[in-house]
Amino acid sequence: MWVIPLNQELLKQIENVVGEIYSISKLEEQGCTSIVQKISALSGNFILKSSSEDRYREWLETEAQVLKKLVKQTKISVPHYYGFIKEEDKSHLLMSFEEGISLTTALEHANFQEKLALIKSFGSFINQLHELGPINSLNHDNNWLDVQLKIAEQNLEQGGVDGNIQLLDKLISHKPLPVKQTVIHGDCTTDNVLVIHGEVKMFIDVSGMAVGDPRYDESLAIGRLKQNPEYLNAFYEGYTRYKVSNDEYSYFDEGLYEFF
């Protein structure tokens, strides 16, 4: 994993936003597609999320655009957007530092009862998102699933995905009956929510946030929980609005997600 050298020009651009920088440190928790660093500065603490590969740079830019659209609203809890900087070979997203740990890490450190409480909280947090109603800045005219299938096709052509052409053809010809579209996270795993004071309180990694099919979030969310019936029950104590069928689950978590 590369340690990111911040050149003078980049530091200057960041300081224009955050004020004098006191320290920069790499976070203990890292994702797969970026390097995240904490910046302590005159006006507070910030996260610099940086990517160097083309595909990941695109995702990062999309994440920046989503966060920017959400700056003025308070209904969806996400980090505050402070800026996006493109260099020749890297891109950087500057956002607020949030005091929390990913749900994945929180679950690793929890006892059984705490795990159930965390999973229930995950369910109700997603339930809340799906029940929000329209957020104007996220609205669009496209059919979300059709767009995803197009992107899946492009990703397959570019390579580096788990799915194959047979699976994609099946997904295109066997679309599930539509349900009401809602705001969705779009990569709704335990890695991409933060636990703050014992509860799931914030979405991170929001490049896929859009008005889309809530069954995608639900399926990804239960993907790592469904082997354990008690975990799955706990999730549905929080997520009460809908239960995906086995076919719907397979379509999304074992199907569409294979191309992302």
Ligand X SMILES: Nc1ncnc2c1ncn2[C@@H]1O[C@H](COP(=O)(O)OP(=O)(O)OP(=O)(O)O)[C@@H](O)[C@H]1O
CA distances from 133 to 76, 130, 153 (A): 11, 7, 30
- Which residue's CB is nearer to ligand X, number 60 or number 244? 60
CA 144, 57, 191 angle in degrees (round to 5)? 65
Place of tokens 């099946």: 170
Residue 62 to residue 174: CA distance in whole angstroms: 29
Which one of the spans 62-70, 144-152, 190-198, 230-238 is the region binding Mg ion (CB under 5 A)? Answer: 190-198
Instruction: Work out whether 63 is an interface residue with Mg ion (CB under 5 A).
Output: no
Residue nearest to ligand X (CB): 31
For the bound state, the minimum distance from the C-beta of residue 204 to ligand X, rounded and expressed in Å, comes to 4
Binding residues for ligand X (CB under 6 A) = 27, 29-34, 36, 47, 49, 79, 95-98, 102, 191-192, 204-205
Q: Where are the alpha helices (DSSP H) in 175-240?
A: 214-223, 229-238
Instruction: Work out whether 223 is an interface residue with Mg ion (CB under 5 A).
Output: no
Work out which of 191, 199, 237, 258 binds Mg ion, going by CB under 5 A: 191
Contact yes or no for 102/191 (Cβ under 8 A):
yes
Site string for Mg ion, 31-50 (x = CB under 5 A): x-------------------
Task: Find which of Mg ion, ligand X, none residue 165 binds, CB within 5 to 8 Å per kind.
Answer: none
Tokens of 68: 């920017």
User: Strand 182-184 vs strand 210-212: parallel, antiparallel, or unpaired?
Assistant: antiparallel
* Letter string b/e over residues 110-130, b meaning 16 or more CB atoms within 10 A of that residue's CB: beeeebbbbbbbbbbbbbbbb
Instruction: Work out whether 153 is an interface residue with Mg ion (CB under 5 A).
Output: no
Task: Find which of Mg ion, ligand X, none residue 91 binds, CB within 5 to 8 Å per kind.
Answer: none
Is residue 183 helix, strand or coil?
Answer: strand
For the bound state, the minimum distance from the C-beta of residue 141 to ligand X, rounded and expressed in Å, comes to 28
Q: 14-33: which residues touch Mg ion (CB under 5 A)?
A: 31
- Which residue's CB is nearer to ligand X, number 44 or number 178? 44
Of 128, 134, 125, nearest to 100 by C-alpha is 125
Residues in the chain: 260
Task: Find which of Mg ion, ligand X, none residue 65 binds, CB within 5 to 8 Å per kind.
Answer: none
For the bound state, the minimum distance from the C-beta of residue 191 to Mg ion, rounded and expressed in Å, comes to 5
For the bound state, the minimum distance from the C-beta of residue 247 to ligand X, rounded and expressed in Å, comes to 27
**Taking the CA of residue 100 as centre, how many other CA atoms within 13 Å lie in the half-sphere pointing to its CB?**
24
Work out which of 63, 205, 217, 253 binds Mg ion, going by CB under 5 A: 205
- Which residue's CB is nearer to ligand X, number 138 or number 194? 194
> DSSP label at 15?
H
Residue 254 to residue 6: CA distance in whole angstroms: 39
Task: Find which of ligand X, Mg ion, none residue 27 binds, CB within 5 to 8 Å per kind.
Answer: ligand X
User: Could you list the residues that contact Mg ion (CB under 5 A)?
Assistant: 31, 191-192, 205
